[in-house]
Amino acid sequence: QPPSGAVAVGMAAAGRWALAVALSLMGFAQLMCACADGSHNNWAVLVCTSRYWFNYRHVANALSFYHTVKRLGIPDSKIILMLADDMPCNPRNSNSAKVYNNMDHRLNIYGDSVEVDYRGAEVTVENFLRVMTGRHADEVPRSQRLLSDEDSNILLFMTGHGGADFLKFQDQEELQAWDLADALQQMHVKKRYKEVLFMIDTCQASTMYRHIYSPNVIGVGSSRKGQSSYSHHADPRLGLTVIDRFTHYTLETLEKIGPESKALLITLLKSYTYDNLHSTVEYTAIKLERPLSSVLLTDFFASATLTHFIPAAYPLPLGSDEEVLVKPLRVEPQEVPPPVLAGSENVEAPTKHSRAKPGAEQEQSGDSANSSSLELMPPPERVAVAIVALGLSVVMFWPFQTLKCKT
């Protein structure tokens, strides 16, 4: 006997619930696989430490890296941007609310969607070290925290004025190379990173990473000890330089790659020449657990989230909640016997237990409906849904049957 409409809808709803649970478990398993790869969790900390209008290029350096990593897929939620001065709104800026890194003004790198996490007086040595080590006050929002873990690759880019073993902040205080080294060691002990790419564009830049002793850190400096780091070109309309040479030639390589690029970091490092930069770029790999020649640019500059696609298509409901995911057994309408008129002859009055027998065509259509409803799903899911639906049906209706027997 075909099930009633309520039972059929209940069984179908149970099957739909079971399928949703199965898909959720599959997605969770795929997410755990992606987490194990560690390629989903790239962060960027971009710091401009200079204030005053004549340091416009340093803000442009940081925003250039910001624009690049966002284009390559790293979201704002995983970027910490620190700008020591508000160049877009500076009264001397003839291009109000805009920042350009090229004299032809091809691209506004400030744009409409820039999220600055630390601005102006908030950019201090203390706040920078708190960001790196995660030692914040309770009132600091999540958007201003580096929420990395042991599977995170972190790009740390710093630009400003510096010297041997120090980098100036706000032209008032200095970050010492030993402080940076100790902060990275705290991050290592607290398992806040997997690998760190530290790039710094300043005078005597390579002295800022020579005291680092934590493992899996790659240091890149725009100049060696005793050398200055130079600007690239000036914008005559602004009356000052708009980008540094090291950042300019780094962008020349980064703007040619996409999120799926297999370009190597070592290729970028070997592309720097003294003729282009007027300084010597130095780099080192500190206790790196893999060859430097195997490091990809996208390991730090892009978001390489693994996406798993399900090849099979599932028949999802498109209408109201009354529509079911798996078609229930179709209940064929029964033939209603004609009314028995008084005085009529050769008419058999229907009894309480009698019913009209469907024809052979109806039986065949009912069998095809049953088979088509099961063919909507692949065999493994079909069996899983059937088992779960059967179990839920027993759990749901067993108390009512027990109560009925007792009464």
**What are the residue numbers of the active site?**
161, 203
Q: Which long-range contacts (CB under 8 A, 24 or more apart) does 97-100 make?
A: 99/56, 99/59, 99/60, 99/63, 100/60, 100/235, 100/242
Using CA atoms, how far apart are residues 201 and 181, in angstroms rounded to an integer? 17
Handedness of CA 182, 185, 191, 197 (dihedral sign): positive
* 8-state DSSP, 288: -
What residues does 48 pair with on adjacent strands?
A: 83, 159
| Single-letter residue type at 77 | S
Euclidean distance between CA atoms 198 and 288, whole angstroms: 13
Query: Cα angle vertex 156, ends 76, 36, to 5°?
Result: 70
Euclidean distance between CA atoms 15 and 198, whole angstroms: 52
Are 198 and 262 a contacting pair, CB within 8 Å? no
Say whether 152 sits in a helix, a strand or coil: coil
Distance CA 34, CA 306 (A): 6
Considering only CA atoms, which of 133, 158, 144 is closest in space to residue 46? 158
Largest CA distance in the chain: 122
The candidate with the shortest Cα–Cα distance to 16, out of 319, 400, 405, is: 319
Torsion of CA 126, 127, 130, 131, to 10 degrees: -150
From first CA to last CA, the distance across the chain in angstroms is 25
- Alpha helix segments (H runs only) across 160-295: 177-189, 245-254, 265-271, 274-277
CB 291 within 8 A of CB 26: no
**Cβ neighbours for 258, distance < 8 A, ≥ 6 positions apart:** 72, 302
21-50 burial string, b = 16+ CB within 10 Å, else e? ebeeeeeeeeeeebeeebbbbbbbbbbbbb
Q: Which amino acid is at 236?
A: P
